[in-house]
Structures are given as structure tokens and as C-alpha cells.
Amino acid sequence: LLDATASSMTQTMQNAAIFSQALSSNKDEIGHILNNLDTLSRQLKDAGIDQSAHKAGEALDTLTANISNLRYTLNAAERTISRVDTLAQNLVNGKGIAGKMLTDEQLAEDLERTIRHTQLLLQDFRLNPKRYTTVKLKVFGKNKTKGYATPFDDPIYQMQVDSLERALGKRLREQDGKGN
């Protein structure tokens, strides 16, 4: 056992001597390599690689935050589009008042007629306010009120006539199309 250990120690010493001799013979080259590494290290430091890496890291952090915000925005847009799609489907299927107005022709005509009558009432109120704000008592047939006079020169009256003409023309075209 001592012989094996001694032999191993001898071999280790010889290897250390060879390594030491190799280092000595390449001492100048190793010195040049260390000088070159030192020069390279200074040049990298002067070039601002550390600062550039730090700035790149900050830019990546900002980019990550922006991507997260974009994801949130896209998800919100997707939810909104889904709601609009559902609303459009309900309209097309005639659900709700707006859907019924789009699909029920009679309801649309009734609504148009109601709007027309409301406009005529407002027009009459504007032209004859005393008719609606004055209370008159009739005593035995006296104080007869004047009948309704159509205001032909009024622009609102003309608008109503135009609307009625369009509605009549539409009905006539529909009847003509069904008759063929």
C-alpha cells in the first residue's frame, strides 16, 4: 500500500513539474493573453455594454407591459364585439322593441303614423297656442270657436304631406309588385 501511494505521489509530482515547466515556457504568451483580456474588458466597459444591456432590459420590461395592455384591450374588444353580435342577432330575430320595429312592417307603419300625428299636434300647438292654453266656457251656444284651418304655407305641414306621399308611393309599389 505504501509503494502504491509513493508511486502515485511520484507521478503527481512529475505531472506538477511538467505543468510548471509548461507554464514557465509559455509565460510570455500567457502574459499577452491576460493583457489582451484586460484590454478587451476595458473596451467593453468603455463601449457601454453594461448600460446597453440595462437599457435593453428596461425596453423588454416596457414591451412586456405594453403587450399585457394590448392583450387586455383585445380581450375587451372581443367582449364588446360579442355583445354587438348578440345585439345584431336579436334585432334580426325580432327580439325587443327595436327588433320588432325592424321586422314587423305594421308596427313600423303605426309608429310612423303616430310620429306624424304628434308632429301635426305640435305644429297646431305652435300656430294656435290659445286653443290649448285658454279655457272658454260656452254658455248656451255663445262663444263658438273657429274650426281647424290647415296651414298650407307652414314648412312642417309640407313635411307631413311629403311623408304621406312617400308612404303612399311605397304602398302602391308594394301592391304593384304583389299584383304581378
- Which letter, b or e, does each residue of 151-168 get, where b requires 16 or more Cβ atoms within 10 Å of its Cβ? eeeeeebeebeeeeeeee
Q: What is the pLDDT of residues 141-151, one digit of tens each?
A: 666 666 667 77
Residues in contact with 112: Cβ distance below 8 Å, sequence separation at least 6, in sequence order: 163, 167
Q: What is the mean pLDDT of residues 143-171?
A: 77
> Where are the chain's structural domains?
31-103, 104-139+150-179
- In the prediction, which pLDDT does 178 show? 73
Q: Are 119 and 160 in contact (CB under 8 A)?
A: yes
- In the prediction, which pLDDT does 159 show? 80
Q: What is the mean pLDDT of the chain?
A: 80
Q: Is the pLDDT of residue 40 over 60?
A: yes
- In the prediction, which pLDDT does 84 show? 92
Q: Is the pLDDT of residue 1 over 60?
A: no
Of 32, 9, 12, give the one whose Cα is nearest residue 20: 12
CA 89, 93, 98, 102 torsion-angle sign: positive
Q: Which residue has the higher pLDDT, 55 or 180?
A: 55
- Which residue is associated with the grid cell 307652414? 154
Where does the pLDDT of residue 10 fall: very low under 50, low under 70, confident under 90, or very high at 90 and above?
Answer: confident
Q: Which residue has the higher pLDDT, 151 or 57?
A: 57
Helical ranges in the chain per DSSP H: 2-25, 27-47, 49-92, 96-103, 105-127, 129-133, 155-179
Where does the pLDDT of residue 17 fall: very low under 50, low under 70, confident under 90, or very high at 90 and above?
Answer: confident
The single-letter DSSP state of residue 68 is H
Q: What is the pLDDT of residues 82-141, one digit of tens each?
A: 999 998 998 888 888 888 887 888 888 888 889 888 988 898 888 888 888 877 666 666
